[in-house]
Amino acid sequence: MREVAIIGIGQTPVDEHWDKSLRELAGEAILKALQDAQREEVDALYVGNMMSGILTQQENLGALIADWAGLRYIEAVKVEAACSSGAAAVRQALMAVSSGLIDSAIAVGVEKMTDEKGTEITAALATAADADYETAHGVTFVGLNALIMQRYMYEYGWKHADFAPFSINSHLNAMTNPNARLHEIISEKDYASAKMISYPINLLDASPIGDGAAAVLIVPKDSLKPNHKPMITIAGSAAASDTVAVHDRKDPLWLKAAEISSRKAYQQAGVTPQDIDFFELHDAFSIMAVLSLEACGFADRGQGPRLGLDGIISRSGKLPIATLGGLKARGHPVGATGVYQIVESVLQLRGEAAENQLSKAQIAMTQNIGGSGSNIITHIIKREDR
Amino acid sequence: MREVAIIGIGQTPVDEHWDKSLRELAGEAILKALQDAQREEVDALYVGNMMSGILTQQENLGALIADWAGLRYIEAVKVEAACSSGAAAVRQALMAVSSGLIDSAIAVGVEKMTDEKGTEITAALATAADADYETAHGVTFVGLNALIMQRYMYEYGWKHADFAPFSINSHLNAMTNPNARLHEIISEKDYASAKMISYPINLLDASPIGDGAAAVLIVPKDSLKPNHKPMITIAGSAAASDTVAVHDRKDPLWLKAAEISSRKAYQQAGVTPQDIDFFELHDAFSIMAVLSLEACGFADRGQGPRLGLDGIISRSGKLPIATLGGLKARGHPVGATGVYQIVESVLQLRGEAAENQLSKAQIAMTQNIGGSGSNIITHIIKREDR
């Protein structure tokens, strides 16, 4: 296997981009990544996207976006793994370059959601759940996560207020991220009194949707000069799946696919959870942040909320998470999210995160979750100083 | 790059499977491929599918199908490239195994179409065209191919009847394929008098949709014993794209992406068109068969119909095509088609094609076309006798 480096990154703000089409958003992120790498060409394009067929009546995104971005004739396909489509596209780019069949690849994640009505978006998001055994009975995607959170609170005795630090941290970190969807400090009181969506998940437990695109350019590490700076490499990459229907899991409070994919990624990278400097996790709902931290070995089972209450997750804490706002406040343009996580990690590793810059950023971990834990993809990204 | 071998194949009949869901069809093909290879486990699953979100309100097919097939927890994602989604999934499996990150992978193509009304299927298929610049103006997918065929006939002086041998050949070959959708011999007279769909494409120029699934199991060649029989390897694999909108192409009568991907595949495999024993091409419409033959170097420009009229494409000809019925008569369950082509090639290479067995089958080529030529993926598959 050839080792790979990320030499270019690009992103659009996450917003309601009513003036830009899906292909325009993706093209913008791709061109920024090419400019960032000072390249004009690339051999392949992998598009992470979940809902373009349903929301914009457009499939065949690979060819569509390649052409729009001036990359006509290259290999170009779409990868879908529900909300983890972005990281799945990055992983496909990684495998393409690792295999030696492709010498440079861009993974772009893109989602265009806000042109549609809320009910249509809710229906489209529900295609990440089991159509025959969950959705058919009327449960929404938020509803499924609410059931998990209820059970978690019952099982381990936490109160709703104990989850507040996750949302407060994400909102705080997004304040100084110009690409974030929300720029609004929230307090414990705001969190406690936010509008209920599906008990116990209220508006400030849930990440906002949005339109956006993010891209990374991947090449073989050995194609770069040894003194290439900054040298950002993907040291670990793994994916695992679980049942789509939550009721099919023996233990719905344990993200088995997070455990498996993080363990594999740690092994590949030769690190342990203690070595991770920061963690861009999938805080689509505050309960998902908690379950991710536990399954990846950062907290004991049932003790995830403790990391928020003890300040460990803040930018000055031992394990900063959502350092540029996370899904909760940077926003969750579904198929793009996994690529945003990696772009943000590269910004931190390069020391280019401006006001959000962490003091220690040598080894990053990202984790993108599809469905209610049915697809989980973990990456470990390193800055190599030589 | 690790070389790869195909050690297991499976398929369901292409039919109106009203009694089987999408996951059941895919699961059946996967289990057959595992049984064929005498294995019980696999490390990753890549699902080729185009329309499940629109037609069955189900995305997240990777995890859904992995779990159903008893492969819970493995890496599993969906790949979409319009009608070439099947070959795209095979190519992703190939790259995963070639990279060394994955030691065994199944690519399964699946599509479930016939539960829906024709108008809904037509709308779903149109998502392979350009939603903003083609579909919005009312042209259907058949309509786009009809415009290409009209122009081709005008430009090179062929009559509609000159395309008849392609459909007649496919129908004849499907007669003895138990997995084919259509079992009906057709004559030149039938072809000439078939119901018009979109001039000049009539019902016997167009492939039928259907429900179906096909799967291949890919492992590193060097993981097999040297005397493993039959040793079927993927000697060439390449993908290329073109504009989605046909009007954006300088030359709409030339499949540039077929030219590029076939040339790369020939180079990788170290062969020329003359070395190909048979060609499972993408005869979604008879015009597409003609354009594919020309772009891949089997016929001079504008002379593709000659191969039909001269009998070259028949099972006893110099370049048999659609040897088990092709898209035209085996059927075109969209996202599954590219995998069916490879499964059928392996049957021929193994000498297991029963009544359809070719006398010479050492080197096969398959080509899967997405959109009206916007995504074209070519594979060259060899039987290695040692």
Query: Distance between CA atoms of B380 and B267, rounded to whole angstroms?
Result: 10
Q: How close are the terminal C-alpha atoms of chain B, in Å?
A: 22
3-state secondary structure of A34: helix
Do residues A72 and A165 both lie within one domain?
no
Residue B383: inside a domain = no
A248 and A157, same structural domain? Answer: yes
- Candidate from A67, A92, A130 with C-beta closest to B243: A67
Q: Is A180 on the interface with B (CB under 8 A)?
A: no
**Do A348 and A280 reside in the same domain of the chain?**
yes
What letter would DSSP give residue B328? I
A102 near B CB under 8 A:
yes
Domain count, chain A: 2
A296 tagged catalytic: no
Kindly list the distances between the CA atom of residue B123 and the CA atoms of A37, A80, A132, B106, B282, in Å, as whole numbers in the listed order: 40, 21, 23, 30, 21
Residue B226 has pLDDT above 90, yes or no: no
Q: Burial-class residue B132 by CB neighbours within 10 Å (0-12, 13-18, 19+).
A: middle
A267 phi/psi in degrees, rounded to 5: -60, -50
- Active-site residue identified among A17, A171, A282, A332: A332
B171 is a domain residue: no
Contacts of B117 (CB under 8 A, 6+ apart): none
Residue A239 with chain B: CB contacts under 8 Å: 44, 75-77
What is the structure's pLDDT at A180?
98
Contacts of B51 (CB under 8 A, 6+ apart): A53, A59, B111, B113, B124, B125, B127, B334, B335
> Which of B21, B51, B130 lies closest to A64 in CB terms?
B130
Q: Are A189 and A105 contained in the same domain?
A: no
* Residue B199 in domain: no
What's the whole-number mean pLDDT along residues B203-209? 98
Across A217-226, b (16+ Cβ under 10 Å) vs e yields bbbbbeeeee
In chain B, the residue whose alpha carbon lies closest to the alpha carbon of A265 is B101
A218 and A153: one domain? no
* Cα–Cα distance list, A238 to A341, A347, A354 (Å): 15, 22, 30
In whole angstroms, give the CA distance from residue B80 to residue B59. 11
**B98 lies in a domain?**
yes
Q: What is the CA radius of gyration of chain A?
A: 19
Domain limit, last residue, from A170, A191, A223? A223
The 10s digit of each residue's pLDDT in B326-344 is: 999 999 999 999 999 999 9
Q: What is the DSSP letter of B370?
A: E
Q: How far, rounded to the nearest angstrom, does the alpha carbon of residue B73 sit from its chain's CA centroid?
A: 29
What is the H or E stretch that residue A63 is in? helix A61-68
Distance between CA atoms of residues A16 and A147, nearest Å: 29
Residues A69, A197: one domain? no
Question: Is A371 domain-assigned?
Answer: yes
Count chain A–chain B contacts defined by CB atoms under 8 A.
217
> Is B134 or B2 the better-scoring residue by pLDDT?
B134
SS3 A269: helix
**Residues of chain A contacting B370 with CB distance shorter than 8 Å:** 60, 63
- Using DSSP bridges, classify how beta strands A375-384 and A363-370 pair: parallel, antiparallel or unpaired: antiparallel
A59, A99, A132: residue with CB nearest B1: A99
- Among B283, B44, B335, B52, residue whose Cα is nearest residue A77: B335
Q: Does residue B296 carry a catalytic annotation?
A: no
Position B1 confidence tier, pLDDT thresholds 50, 70, 90: low
List, in order, residues 6 or more apart from B241 with CB less than 8 Å away: A62, A63, A66, A67, A72, A73, A74, A75, A76, B257, B374, B375, B376
- Rg of the Cα atoms in chain B: 19
Residues A216 and A271 occupy one common structural domain: no
Three-state secondary-structure class, residue A228: coil
* Dist CA B71 CA A242 (whole Å): 9
Counting residues of chain B whose pLDDT is more than 90, the rounded percentage is 96
- How many angstroms away from the CA of B213 is the closest CA of chain A? 18
Q: For residue A229, give every residue at least 6 positions away whose Cβ sits within 8 Å of its Cβ, in sequence order, or none.
A: none
Task: Look at residue B19 and tell me if it is in a domain.
Answer: yes
CA distance A85 to A88: 5
Q: Where a domain ends, among A195, A223, A251?
A: A223
pLDDT at B386 over 70: no
pLDDT of residue A2: 86
Record the pTM.
0.98
Rounded mean pLDDT, A109-116:
95
Asked if residues A32 and A14 have their Cβ atoms less than 8 Å apart, the reply is no
CA distance A185 to B292: 58
Residue B79 sits in a domain whose CATH number is 3.40.47.10
In the predicted model, is pLDDT for residue A113 greater than 70?
A: yes
Together in a domain, A48 and A171 = no
Q: Is the separation of the CB atoms in B312 and B276 below 8 Å? A: no
Q: Residue B122 CB: number of other CB atoms within 10 A?
A: 15
**A187 and A63 within one domain:** no
Residue type, B386: R
Q: Read off φ and ψ for residue B14, nearest 5 degrees.
A: -85, 125
- Contact list in B for residue A50 (CB cut-off 8 A) is 59
**One domain for residues A192 and A78:** no
ipTM over cut 0.95: yes
**Whole-angstrom Cα distance, residue B348 to residue B344?**
6
- Give yes or no for B135 touching A (CB within 8 A): yes
Instruction: Give the model confidence (pLDDT) of A207-262 as tens digits.
Output: 999 999 999 999 999 999 988 888 999 999 999 999 999 999 999 999 999 999 99
Residue of A nearest to B127 (CA): A58
Measured between CB atoms, does B16 come within 8 Å of chain A? no
Alpha helices in chain B (DSSP H): 22-37, 52-56, 61-68, 85-99, 118-125, 141-156, 164-174, 188-193, 256-269, 286-295, 304-309, 337-350
Q: Same domain, yes or no, for A172 and A309?
A: yes
pLDDT of amino acid B313: 98
Chain B within 8 Å of A240 (Cβ-Cβ)?
Answer: yes
| Mean pLDDT within B122-146 | 95
Do A22 and A100 sit in the same domain of this protein? Answer: yes
Instruction: Spell out which residues of chain B touch residue A376, defining contact as CB-CB under 8 Å.
Output: none
Boundary residue ending a domain (A177, A195, A223): A223
Lowest mean pLDDT among A22-26, A110-114, B225-229, B380-384: B225-229
The CA distances from residue A58 to A50, A86, A118, B352, in Å, are: 11, 18, 19, 39
What confidence tens digit (pLDDT) does each residue in A114-167 have?
A: 998 889 999 999 999 999 999 999 999 999 999 999 999 999 999 999 999 999
Return the SS3 of B106: strand
In the three-class reduction of DSSP (H, G, I as helix; E, B as strand; rest coil), residue B40 is classed as coil
Q: Which residues fall within 8 angstroms of residue A157, CB to CB, at 6 or more apart?
A: none
Domain encompassing residue A310? 139-206+234-384
In a domain, A92, yes or no: yes
Kindly state the DSSP code that residue B318 receives in the 8-state scheme: S
Burial B300-333 (b: 16+ CB within 10 A, else e): eeeebbbbbeeebbbbeebbbbbbbbbbbbbbbb
Q: Does B372 touch chain A (CB under 8 A)?
A: no
CB atoms < 10 A from the CB of B236, how many?
A: 23
pLDDT digit string, tens, across residues B51-87: 999 999 999 999 999 999 999 999 999 999 999 999 9
pLDDT of residue A1: 67
Q: Which residues pair with B212 in a beta bridge?
A: B111
pLDDT of residue B228: 85
- With respect to residue B102, please indicate whether it lies within any of the assigned structural domains: yes
